[in-house]
Amino acid sequence: MLRALLPLLHENTDFNVLVQGIERGLTDQLVTGLAGSAKLLFFAALSHRIEEPVVIVTHNNYQAQKIAEEMEEWLDPSEIVYLPGEEIIGGEDHATLNEERTLRLKGLKRLLFDPPKLIVISYAALRMRYLPKEPYRGKHIKLSVGSEIEPERLVDMLLENGYERVDDLSYPGQVARRGEIIDIFPASGETPVRLALPFDEIESIRTLDLENLRSQASLTDIIISPAQERPLSTGERQKLAERLEALYEEAWPKIGDETRREKFTLHVKEMQTLLATHTMHPLFRRYTLTFQQTVSVLEYVSRSPLVVLDEISRIQEVAAQYEKQEAEYYLAERAEGRLLGELPSGFTYTELIEKAHLKRLYVSFFIRNIRGARLKHVINFTTRSGQTFHGQIETLRQELSRWQKQNMHVLFLSKSIDEAHHLSRTLADEGIELDVLPELTYPLPKRAIMTVSDLTQGFEWPATRLVLVTEEEIYYRRRKTRRKRTVTIENAERIRHYQDLRMGDYVVHVHHGIGRFMGIETLETLGTHKDYLRIQYAGTDQLYVPVEQIDLIQKYIGAEEKPPKLNKLGGSEWARTKQKVARAVRDIAEDLIKLYAKRASSPGFAFPPDTPLQKEFEALFPYEPTPDQLRAIEEIKRDMEAPRPMDRLLCGDVGYGKTEVAIRAAFKAVMGGKQVAFLVPTTILAQQHYETIKERIDAFPVQLDVLSRFKTRAEQQDILKRLARGEIDIIVGTHRLLSKDVTFHDLGLLIVDEEQRFGVAHKERIKELKANIDVLTLTATPIPRTLHMSLLGVRDLSLIETPPENRYPVQTYVVEYSPGLVKEAIERELARGGQVFFLYNYVQTIYRMAEELKSLLPEAQIAVAHGQMPERELEHVMLDFLSGEIDVLVSTSIIETGVDIPNVNTLIIYDADRLGLSQLYQLRGRVGRTNRLAYAYLTVQKGKILSEEAEKRLEAIREFTELGSGFKIAMRDLAIRGAGNLLGAEQHGFIAAVGFDLYNEMLKEAVQSLRSSDEAQVNAPHRTQVKLTIDAYIPDDYVSAPHQKIALYKRLAHMEELGELDDLIDELHDRFGPSPAPVERLLLITRVRLLGELLDVEKIWYAEGGIRLLFHPDRARHWHPMDFAPLQATFGRSFGIIAGERLGLILRVQETDLLKGLNMLIQALSLLLEESKQKGVISHVQ
């Protein structure tokens, strides 16, 4: 932290004159000349020095967030609040997951309940209309342990505040109720909470872990913010309905066009229906402006603040743009019949700044006239931005000497203490001595020092005698700052339910084939209630499957989105299909096992353990590695250190950090004295990997080069010679590396990126290269964990499933195509220094579309890329885009795979309804690759009448967020693609025939049966059948959501350990409250089954006056009559032994008293288990 530098500015004369002017109440002052991060020091010192809160206003969200994050280097995070605004006019009407709103609600809550010293907001947030401070404070719900509230009343209050009612929480602004248990994910993004309310009193408030759905730490109270800036009460909804009616009647006579009349009528009906059903709609926020009193966010600041307008000319420019765009938006919406009446817009610049009674401080690098301002005082600070040295250490030494002669305090900044020590050693070798100080104190030492900071820009401020130099400026590296994520959305939630069963889903029954799940029903047979899954087959055939057989059913996951053919009950077709797939699966399993065994027995090079240099290299990684990355690195290193050739597949989504894992493996290979070949499918990727690796190894004695078509013939020949002589340690290249003229001095590691994208001939050459060296293959296509588990022991896989920390979900909008919206979206991205992908999938007219965009955005550099272009031309376009020379790339779906450009954070898709969900997922993965908030606009033709199929597709796209069901469908498609890549494309047909899950199960069984010995089969535990006619099920009034109920039945059916059952009992109580009697009996039956399996009991049933138990014939011989003596002593005459061919036991109990019998049985089995443990009778006792 750099807080110790603030006194340097507090002692500055100009700064003190400025502060005195603020204290005297001067309304308009101008500060100029602040360069680089000198501005941050000024803001921090100002906030620290004056009494009133400081509000910094910037021209856009990106700049505001950047300042707020970097201010944490100077002030404590608790002193800072960041508020983003809605930058796309009308965009909030279409956002599927609005993270900016979450951040804004969090900021508003801080302003109300924990006022900060420094508020950083964008102009978009400043111009927004909010409820007055006290009414908005009153919308917050304070909940305390011990306070009384009826559960449904609490849910109603949250719904009135804009929350969404769901079965399971996924993201902020949701509430779920299950009986006396209420889960809330606060809209302001704090950790979700779980409330227990027995007898209408809050018994407990606990934080909730969305990954395992269990409650965690206890809280005494919590304040829940509304999910909207201006939520509607019941009275306001009624008022809005009346207002809509009045606007409609007022507009009706003025509308001459019949089509527009129809549109307005439909619009009003839709709004009224939503109001009647308590459903929120973004347009309500606009209509309520006709009667709600509103204020600017400045009214929320606790005392009269100092408003600092940063880069005032830019703020005035965007203010004018917003006013113009909003007027155009209202005009267009009214013309389309989607908006009624003249509605108020956001606050104008004149209202907010020029006419408001504020203390204003304008900040501009140059002295300039400011429209509407009467400047009382101008202060010019002389500062210079940090100099970039490009690794020229001699120049740095000369500058340091100059600074020291001028008695300047010189601070070198590095991101971590490890990097600081590394950099100080590097500079010491060049004759520059520095002291490393983890913490700064005032006064500063006279010698130049090295300290820790995330700042990326330095500065020179002669008047304060201060110089800051960042590591980035010394070496011109692009430093990555760790963004402080303020909203938590659990990664596990993204795919937790992608295999949930929903009504209408296709399912596969192991014995009966493909059918359709039609729901879960509680049926009564012979006086006993039980839950059944109803499955529809071909024709009118129906099958009721008891829930205890749920493990025979899997969700059908087939290729693409084509519906499968339903089987007929009792036919032979399914049996034939299964036999055909079983043969194919066994062949694959045999091939995999042979290949694995051959490679395991081949001699290979055992790399030495990690060197100190390896540890230093890894410490310089500018991000925190994810647990998955660390596990993958550990697995790869273990393979490399083994005396057999490694052949490992590393699988992880684009941007999840596979390259860093591969680089660490490459560095280890070089430290072990071997060469590394990094093989990639395209010239662009070769260049990208080369740049990435170069940036990482720059400070280390490792020689790197790249071999591709971008090198001249002479350069290629030189590289080949140096490679053969061993002068190159790591070579990155395309299939050019596979040519016969390429020879290595001592190749030890081959890294192959996306092997499936190479041709057949190239794959054969890769096979030859693989013979006795270590091989690491990278793929971005997901390999499902279930498939990974099936292949354990026959294929070495490492999976990276967790995205990097602080990755934001992409803000996804589904909108009608409009040139105005496109212009706005592109301008916003370019304003923050980013680039844009514009996806247009029509090659014939792609150049015309590019021309349209050029006329909209004459200042932007726009280029075209499509698959029919000559390869070299396409490569040059992509390289220009990569280097930042092109702002907007108009492209076909060739960008779907293999392009990694972190600076592209806006994607616009033309005719999104024509693309498949998995395609959309891949395309949307092109943006949001860094810790910068990214935007995806899925556009459809204005006024287009969609077919029923296209409408369903569009509906699915509307849910297409990382947490939506569309994402889960895409995951399924990609899972099958991943399986095809791993096992061979010919497997697609077999997967489609039986569904992915059953195919996977058959593969697992084939692998196990081929690898297992007969003895292992004999020793395998047996399944215990429990057949007791007792009410044991999950009632609807305990768990109402069918998918939750099915998930619980599945867990019970697949349970193998008593500890799992105890965990589930705790979870049920935590998630759903105390279990009712039928659930208690279901849990008892599961405990009986698990105990029975530990004791090798074949079946348990009721007959002839008692509960009977039969041991498996293989185990019966282990028992001796004396082993049952404790049972005889405990149960007396109620206990008996069944002798004869099969050994069994009986507990005599009336059929009407089966619950008592169940408890007796659990006691009996527990006693037997204890006895067996002591005698060592059962080998697999857990």
The per-residue DSSP string of 430-479 comes to TT---EE-SS--SSPPSS-EEEE------EEEGGGTEEEEEHHHHHT---
643-659 pLDDT, tens digit per residue, is: 988 888 888 776 778 89
Of 168-172, 693-697, 941-945, where does mean pLDDT reach its minimum?
Answer: 941-945
pLDDT of 340: 81
Domain match, 112 and 169 both: no
- In terms of Cα–Cα distance, which of 552, 532, 389 is closest to 1034? 532
Helical H runs in 1012-1041?
1014-1019
* Cα gap 644→283, rounded to integer Å: 65
Residue 283 maps to a domain: yes
Percentage, residues of the chain above pLDDT 70: 89
Of 77-86, 117-126, 1163-1172, where does mean pLDDT reach its minimum?
Answer: 1163-1172
Judge contact between 308 and 55, C-beta under 8 A.
Answer: yes
Locate 693 and state its tokens: 């690796």
* Cα gap 904→889, rounded to integer Å: 10
Amino acid at 502: R
Axis crossing angle, helix 819-831 with helix 846-856, rounded to the nearest 10: 70
Domain match, 347 and 412 both: no
Complete edge-to-edge strand list for the sheet that includes strand 28-32: 80-83, 118-122, 54-58, 306-310, 359-364, 28-32, 377-380
Residue 588 maps to a domain: no
* Cα gap 615→622, rounded to integer Å: 14
pTM: 0.77
Task: Tell the residue number behind the tokens 């930058």, with chain if given.
Answer: 87
Element (H, E) at 396: helix 393-405
Residue 1009 maps to a domain: no
Domain match, 65 and 26 both: yes
Domain match, 1073 and 1152 both: yes
Domain match, 815 and 917 both: yes
For residue 736, CA distances in Å to 681, 684, 686, 894, 908 come to 10, 13, 11, 22, 35
**Average pLDDT value for the chain:** 85
DSSP 8-state code for residue 527 = T
Amino acid at 313: S
Question: 45 pLDDT band (50/70/90 cuts)?
Answer: very high
pLDDT of 481: 43
446-463 pLDDT, tens digit per residue, is: 889 999 998 888 999 999
Judge contact between 204 and 218, C-beta under 8 A.
Answer: yes
Task: Tell the residue number behind the tokens 């803000």, with chain if given.
Answer: 811
Domain match, 908 and 1052 both: no
Q: What are 1147-1156's contacts with CB under 8 Å, separation 24+? A: 1147/1106, 1147/1107, 1147/1109, 1148/1105, 1148/1106, 1149/1105, 1149/1106, 1149/1107, 1150/1105, 1151/1029, 1151/1102, 1151/1105, 1154/1028, 1154/1029, 1154/1030, 1154/1102, 1154/1107, 1155/1030, 1155/1081, 1155/1084
Domain match, 245 and 366 both: no
Judge contact between 395 and 389, C-beta under 8 A.
Answer: yes
- In terms of Cα–Cα distance, which of 412, 380, 373, 409 is closest to 396? 412
pLDDT of 15: 95
Domain match, 771 and 919 both: no
Residue 71 maps to a domain: yes
* Cα gap 963→977, rounded to integer Å: 21
Domain match, 818 and 955 both: yes
Output the domain CATH number for residue 91. 3.40.50.300
* Cα gap 645→639, rounded to integer Å: 8
Apex CA 1089: angle with CA 1084 and CA 1090, to 5°? Answer: 95
Task: Tell the residue number behind the tokens 């991943």, with chain if given.
Answer: 978
Locate 690 and state its tokens: 């080369």
Locate 225 and state its tokens: 């913010």
| Domain enclosing residue 718, as ranges | 602-612+620-686+698-780
Output the domain CATH number for residue 1143. 3.90.1150.50
* Cα gap 960→982, rounded to integer Å: 27
**Which of the listed residues 780, 797, 820 is the one where a domain comes to its end?**
780
Residue 673 maps to a domain: yes
* Cα gap 214→305, rounded to integer Å: 43
- In terms of Cα–Cα distance, which of 1071, 1064, 1170 is closest to 210? 1071
304-333 pLDDT, tens digit per residue, is: 899 999 999 889 989 998 898 888 888 877
Domain match, 746 and 646 both: yes
Rounded mean pLDDT of 1043-1069? 90
Judge contact between 449 and 436, C-beta under 8 A.
Answer: yes
- Report which of residues 334 and 108 the model is more confident about: 108
Q: Cβ contacts of residue 820 below 8 Å, gap of 6+? A: 325, 328, 329, 332
Helical H runs in 672-759?
683-697, 713-725
Domain match, 681 and 702 both: yes
Residue 997 maps to a domain: no
pLDDT of 496: 37
pLDDT at position 1014 over 50: no
- In terms of Cα–Cα distance, which of 296, 129, 157 is closest to 225? 157
Domain match, 67 and 7 both: yes
pLDDT at position 542 over 50: yes
pLDDT of 429: 84
Question: 417 pLDDT band (50/70/90 cuts)?
Answer: confident
Domain count within the chain = 7
Rg (CA), the chain: 34
892-941 pLDDT, tens digit per residue, is: 887 755 567 888 999 999 998 887 766 777 677 778 777 677 888 888 88
Residue 1015 maps to a domain: no
556-595 pLDDT, tens digit per residue, is: 877 555 678 899 988 888 999 999 989 988 888 888 788 7
- Report which of residues 812 and 1160 the model is more confident about: 1160
- In terms of Cα–Cα distance, which of 1121, 1127, 1132, 1116 is closest to 1170? 1127
Residue 1181 maps to a domain: no
Locate 784 and state its tokens: 């499902």
